[in-house]
Structure 1
Amino acid sequence: MTDTTLPATALAGSILTTRPGPASDGWTAMTDVERVRFEHDGYLVIPGALTSEEVAAARTAVLRLWHADGHRGGPHGDTAMHRLSAVSACPELALLIDHPTVFRYVWSLLGWNVHIYHSHVDVHPQLPQPQPDWWHWHQDGGRQNRELETTPRPRMSVKLAYWLSDVSYPDRGNLTVIPGSHRTNWLPGPPSRGVPWPQPARALQITANPGDVVVFDRRLWHARSDNHSPHTRIAAFFGYTYRWVTGRDHVADLPNRPEWATFTPVQRQLLGGIGTGDGDHAWGHDPATTPLYAELANRNLLDSSIPALIP
């Protein structure tokens, strides 16, 4: 069973500023094989992306927040937490937003003019009772899925799902996907979400160990399985899009907090802290003053064969 009891020393909190484990700066592009797989399936599973120390630090931060929330009960008697704006809620999680093992997939797919527009941390203990029927299947992006006109609609964003608990078996709150569905604009479903309806054909519960990461296209049709196990589901999700797309996260106060001084320039860009605030900088008109562009340029990683990485 996942231990959700925090030691007394964890209540004070701390910022994890180092990355334990083998030294690696992670600045390599995703491979051609990975790109083909991602384009075909709409997602990749990256096993062992985090070290055990990183998993423990991130899990402790999320559980500290959950405890501070008082394990607020959900509408059906559960004590789940779904908190938006992950780094504002848990500054310790800044480690994850440009983690060297998986951040390379973000800039390989979207390029350098990106930020985190949506993030959340989740805690889902075992459900106390069967849940009412509810259709959870969706694509990310909200109104993008109504207002963009093409078929298929453009990718627009990708998401990193960090697993901080054991979901190596089904029905533990697993991310459930339909492989290849990212090129399908509509999914047959019930007339309203509360109407009983069978699961989509080819639905797959992704199993993962603590420290594994799933990279997925926002268009991939996905849902969360109910957690019927005694293992509490703990996860952190970060969605990346272009800086000219409005962010959903509440991060305006971050530059005024002491943790801001510990963040790198790239991390500050991802959290919306680069530019003059008038919107023009977010259009990418001044690449030289955009930290991720400079980082990729210095490492000769601006690849003209990939539109998002054209210098």
Structure 2
Amino acid sequence: MSNETVCLTAAQRLHFDIYGYVLLENVLNSDEIERMKGALYKIKADEGRDAKRVYARPGGEHHVLFGNLVEYDPALLEYAAHPKLVPLVEEVVGGAVRLEETEAIINSRNPETELDELHKRRYNPTGFHRGTQHGWGTYIEQNKFHCIFVKTLAYLTDVGPDDGGTCVIPGSHRLTWNQSEMIEAALSDDKLIYQVEASAGSVLLFAEALIHSTTAIRSDKERVILISGYTPPMVREWPGNEVSPEFIETLPEDIRPLISGSDSWHWKRRY
């Protein structure tokens, strides 16, 4: 996998540094979208998915999260090792990375939530969180911001203002405020929150130090997203996302370190 010519533009890198995320438009083509989405619906219908190492976390009839996906279908492995995305992740992590987790969400509007209530607020985040924070999960190198835990979130369906786009608190990736205080402050003034709108095939690249959330869907559309998380290779995979040695042996040599983390402390840094 050649990473030589794939990089963020100066504007994209500046956006990531300032806000903690950048939306990469039209990364996936229509064939990739359909194959990846088809694989996720196949998982949803597969009652034997546990035996195939996929975990499921239902959140009611309207919401399900799946994880540990790369062994299930080639299209999901393809996303995790996508040559248009991995180099960008390495740029903002600061060196070679390993796959830390793979997850997907298929969700629609919660039928138990009153639509009028959802329209009272501009944004309806369902649970702000982050996976690391500034000071121990981030660093500055050559005047640029880096994070050791970064995700790519692919929108496999169009996401408009009522379709459950990801909400973020821009700039929170650089703050050491108490997390609960930041969330409370942002919820008191929705100008401090940004909700992503994107066409299918676009990908949100973001630092896990950025406080973010799924938002409640107000439309009748179903949302499908596919997520890969990455860290330096010496970091452990997220529990439940262990990839089997037997599967690793079947992979092309150029992506084995990415999927397995086999480089460990032999971190190939960019600097």
Shorter-chain-normalised TM-score: which range? 0.7 to 0.9
Once the two structures are superposed, the pairs formed by residues 85-164 of structure 1 within 5 Å of their partners are 85-130=68-113, 136-141=127-132, 145=133, 148=136, 155-164=147-156
The CA deviation string for residues 63-112 of structure 1, in whole angstroms up to 9 with x for no partner, is 11011259x8945x433211122313444311112222222211212244
The CA deviation string for residues 163-191 of structure 1, in whole angstroms up to 9 with x for no partner, is 11111x1231211112222112336647x
Q: TM-score, normalised by structure 1?
A: 0.68
Asked if structure 2 preserves the Cα contact closer than 8 Å seen for 1:86 and 1:236, the reply is no
Equivalent residue number for residue 184 of structure 1: 175
**Taking structure 1 as reference, are residues 207 and 254 closer, same or farther at Cα in structure 2, changes over 3 Å only?**
same
Equivalent residue number for residue 171 of structure 1: 162
Structure 1: give runs of 5+ residues left out of the alignment.
1-23, 275-280, 286-292, 294-307
The residue identity in structure 1 corresponding to 2:270 is: L
Equivalent residue number for residue 55 of structure 1: 33
Equivalent residue number for residue 225 of structure 1: 215
Q: Structure with the greater relative contact order (CA < 8 A, sep ≥ 6): 1 or 2? A: 2
Structure 2: give runs of 5+ residues left out of the alignment.
49-55, 118-123
Equivalent residue number for residue 65 of structure 2: 82
The residue identity in structure 2 corresponding to 1:282 is: S
The residue identity in structure 2 corresponding to 1:156 is: I
Q: Find the aligned partners of 2:57 and 2:91 in 1 and give their Cα distance.
A: 40
Q: Find the aligned partners of 1:235 and 1:201 in 2 and give their Cα distance.
A: 25
Equivalent residue number for residue 265 of structure 2: 283
The residue identity in structure 2 corresponding to 1:105 is: L
Aligned-CA RMSD value: 3.5
Which stretches of structure 1, 4 residues or longer, exceed 6 Å deviation after superposition?
131-134, 149-154
Aligned residues: 249
% same residue = 23
Q: Find the aligned partners of 2:139 and 2:95 in 1 and give their Cα distance.
A: 26
**Taking structure 1 as reference, are residues 39 and 91 closer, same or farther at Cα in structure 2, changes over 3 Å only?**
same
Q: Find the aligned partners of 1:138 and 1:273 in 2 and give their Cα distance.
A: 25
Asked if structure 1 preserves the Cα contact closer than 8 Å seen for 2:155 and 2:200, the reply is yes
The residue identity in structure 1 corresponding to 2:154 is: Y
Q: Find the aligned partners of 1:27 and 1:270 in 2 and give their Cα distance.
A: 19
Once the two structures are superposed, the pairs formed by residues 27-46 of structure 1 within 5 Å of their partners are 27-46=5-24
Q: Find the aligned partners of 2:137 and 2:83 in 1 and give their Cα distance.
A: 35
| 1:117 match: secondary structure | strand
Asked if structure 2 preserves the Cα contact closer than 8 Å seen for 1:49 and 1:212, the reply is yes
State the Cα distance separating 1:119 from its structure 2 match: 2.2
Q: Find the aligned partners of 1:122 and 1:217 in 2 and give their Cα distance.
A: 19
